[in-house]
Structures are given as structure tokens and as C-alpha cells.
């Protein structure tokens, strides 16, 4: 992560006063919703112990009620309180990656409301590292005798692009939702989700914490999400079409894009092209092409991705062409999100 983004997150975080944190924790305590920054994306939070608060989250997002939400815990929160039990693998991963962008799916404790788990027998737990998230979770948890958890999906309407700034959240919900502004998110895409509820580790959603890092800690590689995992828990971030802009988006290797670009640029419509400068060549300056240089580094690409998709929706283009990144583990998370954005526009899916 660059020093610039780290320090800007830190200064935005310190701009949130203790009074603002208390006010937000009181809202959560009263069953209201609060949007708050995490290191991945902004979350739309509600009291995880309150079925009514969780129902409000679903209603605000327009999300089907059988989709589970992640429970966010304070830095000293107790995952054992929310899980039926904590497998040794879970403890190892918690020690290695919390606080941070890793969500663990565990068998749920009986006290978890059905609304949080989408009726499944598991619960998703995560401890975010963003200082504003930590202060809010600490303040809320203290109001609940140290056992407060905040259920929070990404703070966007269902199927839309996740928000990575407070302004993105306002763009989604207008003034209807209380937002804590902690600056731009450093990671920029949602947490890695690892399922430990079935006796073996299985990656449900790729993110900043990579399968290799997980394998290094567990001594065994997680199963990858290749569609063959028929008993995998349902997760909306794992729907084939998700995270979509409104402008149709096509994702193809650069060679395959070129003929489509030729055709589109000959017509009198403007198209957007997102590709690495190293691949785009003369297309960067071609007629009717709104060229955006894609970051060459996977972490930077992830951080900028959702802001970029939102900006492209305002760029007055009829289509967005995006260069598919190499099929390697370092690009797995970015390719995953771009693939779901593109799938929203593929016929017969």
C-alpha cells in the first residue's frame, strides 16, 4: 500500500471526532443503521443481535432476505461468542490476519438471529482494521457488555458497485443513511471470504488476503471457487452477476478486444477502454475511444476499481471494454470482480 493512501486514511480517520463515534454507536444501539468505512469498502451497519435492525439493512439495500451478512467484531471482540466453536485453523488465521480483510465462515452459535445468517447454519465473522471501524465497533460493543457485533454488507444497493468513499455511499442512498467519513478505502475490494464450516478450508470470494497466504498459515491450500463446489454456502458476493455498473461492460483479453474496438470506434459512438498502457498501444488515442490507463499493479487496481467503474458510468460512453488481466493468482480478486460486472451483461446467463 502506498504511503499516500495510508496517511490519507489516517488523517481522514482522525477527522472523525469521539462525539461522532458516540453518536453513531448510539444510533446502532437504538436499532438504526450507520454506514462506516472499513479498509476494504464502506459497510452498511446494524446491530447484529437485532432481527429488526438486520431487516432494515435488507430493506435499504433491496437485497433478498436469504443472503447472509457478515458480523463485524471489535479488535478485542470474542469470535467464540458468535461461533458454535472456534476450530484450530480459525484461531491460526485470526492470529495471522485480524484485524484485516479476511472473513471467516464458521458454524454459528445458537444466539445468532436467522436474519444474519440468511437461515444457514453458519456465520461470517470479520474484524476490520480501519481505525474508524474499530472505534465504532469498540464503542458499540461496550454498550453491549463487550459482546456487540455489527452486521454489515457493503453500503450499496443490491447488485451495484461497492462504495469506497463516503460520497459513493451518499450517491447510493442520498441523505437517508447516516455516514461516517473515514476517507478512501485502502484495499478497495471486499474481504477475502474463507469457509471453515465444512471441515476443510474453501475460498468463497477472493480478496487482498490471497490463497497462498492462507496456505502458508494452514499448511494446506484452500479449495478455490471454481463452480464445482456444490455444497458451498450461498453468498451474494459469489453470484455470477454482481458488482455491475449501469453501462454495459465487456471483459476480454486484449487480443479479443481489438476487433470489437475497431468496429465500435468506426461507428459514431463513444466507447470506454480500460487497459494497461503496456497493452493498449495506439488504441489509447483512437477516435471515439475514452481511454483509461489501468494500473499495472494488482493492489492498486483493486483500490481504484470501484471508483473507476462509477466514473465510467458518468463518462457518456455506450460500452465499456475492459482488458482481462492475466489468469494468475495475483490477479484473481480483480478478475473475479470484473468478471461479475461483465456477467451482468452477458446474454442467457
Is residue 137 within 8 Å of 77, Cβ to Cβ?
A: yes
Long-range contacts of 52-57 (CB under 8 A, 24+ apart): 53/28, 53/151, 54/113, 54/115, 54/116, 54/151, 55/115, 56/31, 56/32, 57/33, 57/151, 57/152, 57/153
69 belongs to the binding site for ligand TXA (CB under 6 A): yes
40 belongs to the binding site for Mg ion (CB under 5 A): no
- Give the span between the Cα atoms of 183 and 132, in whole angstroms: 10
CB of 121 to Mg ion, least distance (A): 22
For residue 244, report the phi and psi dihedrals to the nearest 5 degrees.
-100, 140
**Bridge pairing between strands 319-323 and 249-252:** parallel
154 belongs to the binding site for Mg ion (CB under 5 A): yes
Residue among 130, 116, 110, 161 nearest 13 (CA): 130
Of the candidate residues 47, 54, 60, 120, the single one contacting ligand TXA (CB under 6 A) = 120
Of the candidate residues 50, 134, 141, 154, the single one contacting ligand TXA (CB under 6 A) = 154
193 belongs to the binding site for ligand TXA (CB under 6 A): yes
CB of 173 to Mg ion, least distance (A): 14
| Contact region with ligand TXA (CB under 6 A), list: 219-227, 236-244, 269-277, 279-287 | 236-244
Residue 164 binding partner per list Mg ion, ligand TXA, none, with a CB distance cut-off of 5 to 8 Å that depends on partner kind: none
| Contact region with Mg ion (CB under 5 A), list: 71-79, 137-145, 150-158, 334-342 | 150-158
- Give the span between the Cα atoms of 266 and 113, in whole angstroms: 56
Order of strands across the sheet with 122-126?
Answer: 178-179, 34-36, 43-47, 150-151, 70-72, 122-126, 102-107, 192-195, 202-205
- Give the span between the Cα atoms of 276 and 271, in whole angstroms: 16
Residue 20 binding partner per list Mg ion, ligand TXA, none, with a CB distance cut-off of 5 to 8 Å that depends on partner kind: none
| Contact region with ligand TXA (CB under 6 A), list: 24-32, 214-222, 234-242, 302-310 | 234-242
| Contact region with Mg ion (CB under 5 A), list: 6-14, 63-71, 95-103, 149-157 | 149-157
Of the candidate residues 233, 245, 298, 307, the single one contacting ligand TXA (CB under 6 A) = 233
Catalog residues that contact ligand TXA under the rule CB under 6 A.
38, 40-41, 43, 67-70, 103, 105, 117, 120, 122-124, 126, 128, 152-154, 190-191, 193, 233, 235-238
Residues that bind Mg ion (CB under 5 A): 154
Amino acid at each position: 500500500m502506498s504511503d499516500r493512501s495510508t496517511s490519507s486514511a489516517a488523517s481522514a480517520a482522525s477527522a472523525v471526532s469521539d462525539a461522532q463515534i458516540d453518536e453513531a454507536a448510539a444510533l446502532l444501539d437504538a436499532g438504526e443503521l450507520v454506514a462506516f468505512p472499513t479498509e476494504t469498502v464502506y459497510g452498511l451497519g446494524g446491530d447484529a443481535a437485532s432481527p429488526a435492525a438486520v431487516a432494515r439493512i435488507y430493506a435499504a439495500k433491496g437485497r433478498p432476505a436469504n443472503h447472509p451478512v457478515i458480523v463485524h467484531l471489535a479488535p478485542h471482540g470474542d469470535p467464540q461468542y458468535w461461533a458454535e466453536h472456534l476450530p484450530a485453523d480459525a484461531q491460526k488465521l485470526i492470529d495471522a490476519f485480524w484485524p484485516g480483510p479476511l472473513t471467516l465462515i464458521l458454524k454459528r452459535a445458537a444466539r445468532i438471529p436467522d436474519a444474519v445468517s440468511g437461515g444457514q447454519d453458519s456465520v461470517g465473522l470479520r474484524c476490520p482494521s480501519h481505525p474508524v471501524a474499530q472505534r465504532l465497533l469498540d464503542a458499540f460493543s461496550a454498550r453491549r457488555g463487550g459482546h456487540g457485533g455489527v452486521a454489515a454488507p457493503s453500503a450499496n444497493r443490491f447488485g451495484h458497485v461497492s462504495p469506497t468513499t463516503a460520497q459513493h455511499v451518499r450517491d447510493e442512498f442520498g441523505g437517508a443513511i447516516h455516514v461516517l467519513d473515514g476517507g478512501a478505502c485502502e484495499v478497495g475490494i471486499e474481504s477475502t471470504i474463507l469457509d471453515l464450516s465444512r471441515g476443510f478450508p474453501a475460498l468463497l470470494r477472493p480478496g487482498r488476503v490471497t490463497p497462498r497466504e492462507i496456505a502458508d498459515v494452514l499448511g494446506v491450500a484452500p479449495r478455490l471457487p471454481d463452480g464445482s463446489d456444490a455444497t458451498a454456502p450461498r453468498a451474494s458476493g459469489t453470484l455470477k452477476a454482481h458488482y455491475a455498473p449501469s453501462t454495459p461492460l465487456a471483459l476480454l483479453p486484449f487480443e479479443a478486444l481489438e476487433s470489437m474496438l475497431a468496429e465500435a470506434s468506426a461507428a459514431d459512438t463513444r466507447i470506454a477502454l480500460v487497459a494497461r498502457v503496456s497493452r493498449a498501444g495506439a488504441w489509447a488515442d483512437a477516435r471515439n475511444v475514452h481511454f483509461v490507463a489501468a494500473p499495472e499493479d494488482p493492489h492498486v487496481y483493486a483500490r481504484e476499481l470501484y471508483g473507476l467503474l462509477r466514473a465510467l458510468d458518468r463518462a457518456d460512453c455506450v460500452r465499456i471494454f475492459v482488458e482481462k488481466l492475466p489468469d494468475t493468482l495475483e490477479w484473481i480478486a480483480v478478475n473475479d470482480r470484473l468478471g461479475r460486472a461483465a456477467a451482468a451483461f452477458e446474454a442467457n446467463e
